[in-house]
């Protein structure tokens, strides 16, 4: 049994976790979320969302990793939030947006020269991600959050600090634009008939 206020520190986690209680094996008193469980449960989904947004798997993983590192540095505060993953996702999106604005040319270069360590995405997914990159950043973010992260319009509006009407408008316009771009890919026989 531990004395009141005594921290449980696991040496394998290193000094980065030494400043706060270790939360391995479940939730801490007060309903605070365990960082390790949060990371394991949400790293892949946040990375997938950012991959769809950025179009670069490695950069999406790096940005997601940075967001989780920032959460770990502030875990005492972040774990007290009702939804810590929302904080991580917001930080990840902010980092991704900053990256997107600063380094479009560098990202294009890295995409052309990156090594692929996993199977390539399906042709349909490649076409979808290429079509997504043609959308403006904010509507693209709304589409990714709604259709890939299954977030409600209200939640997207709140996280992006816009009205629900704006989000609905973005989603409608994006569906129209994506439908026009993906139509030939969805019905290859239609293109042959048009060219005949």
Q: Which residue segments constitute the domains of the chain, with CATH numbers given?
A: 21-114 (no CATH), 122-196 (1.10.10.10)
Q: Are 104 and 96 in contact (CB under 8 A)?
A: no
- Tell me the range of 24-38, 117-131, 153-167, 176-190 where mean pLDDT is highest: 153-167
Residue 194: burial class (beta carbons within 10 Å; 0-12, 13-18, 19+): exposed
For residue 118, give the H/E element and its range: none
* Tally: H helices and E strands in the chain: 10, 0
Mean pLDDT of the chain: 77
Over the stretch 28-59, which tens digit does the pLDDT of each residue have?
Answer: 433 345 899 999 999 999 999 999 998 889 99
List 11's β-bridge partners, or say none: none
The confidence score (pLDDT) of residue 189 equals 53
> For residues 64 and 43, is the Cβ–Cβ distance under 8 A?
yes
d(CA 131, CA 6): 53
Question: Looking at the predicted structure, is the pLDDT value of residue 161 above 80?
Answer: yes
- Percentage of the chain modeled with pLDDT above 70: 71
Nearest-angstrom CA–CA distance, 139 and 132 = 9
pTM: 0.48
Q: Which H/E stretch holds residue 126?
A: helix 123-132
Residue 194 predicted with pLDDT over 50: no
pLDDT digits (tens, 9 = 90+) for 78-106: 988 999 999 999 999 999 988 878 777 67
């Amino acid at each position: 049994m531990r004395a009141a206020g005594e921290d449980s520190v696991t040496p394998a986690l290193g000094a980065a976790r030494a400043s706060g209680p270790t939360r391995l094996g479940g939730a801490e008193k007060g309903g605070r979320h365990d960082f390790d469980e949060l990371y394991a449960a949400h790293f892949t989904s946040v990375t997938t969302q950012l991959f769809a947004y950025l179009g670069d798997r490695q950069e999406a993983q790096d940005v997601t990793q940075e967001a989780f590192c920032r959460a770990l540095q502030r875990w005492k505060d972040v774990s007290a939030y009702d939804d810590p993953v929302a904080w991580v996702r917001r930080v990840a999106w902010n980092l991704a947006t900053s990256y997107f604005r600063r380094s479009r040319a560098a990202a294009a270069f890295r995409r052309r020269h990156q090594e692929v360590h996993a199977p390539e995405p399906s042709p349909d997914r490649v076409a979808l991600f290429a079509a997504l990159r043609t959308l403006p950043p904010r509507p693209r973010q709304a589409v990714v959050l709604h259709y890939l992260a299954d977030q409600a319009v209200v939640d997207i509006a709140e996280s992006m600090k816009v009205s629900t009407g704006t989000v609905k408008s973005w989603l409608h316009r994006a569906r129209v634009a994506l439908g026009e771009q993906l139509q030939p890919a969805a019905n290859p026989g239609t293109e042959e008939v048009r060219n005949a």
